[in-house]
Amino acid sequence: MNIFLVFVPVGLGTYVFDAHPILIFLSNALAVIPLSSLLTAATEMLASDAGDSTAALLNMSLGNLVEFILLYTVPSIANPVNNVVAN
Q: What is the pTM of this model?
A: 0.60
Q: What is the pLDDT of residues 2-53, one digit of tens each?
A: 788 888 889 889 888 988 888 888 888 888 888 878 877 887 787 788 777 8
- Count structural domains, the chain: 1
Distances (CA, A) of 52 to 17, 46, 76: 46, 11, 37
C-alpha R_g of the chain: 16
Buried b (16+ CB within 10 A) or exposed e, 20-41: eeeebbebbebbbebbbeeeee
Q: Are 8 and 35 in contact (CB under 8 A)?
A: yes
Q: What is the pLDDT of residues 49-78, one digit of tens each?
A: 877 788 778 777 777 777 777 777 666 565
| Helix/strand/coil for 19 | coil
Range of the domain at 6: 2-86
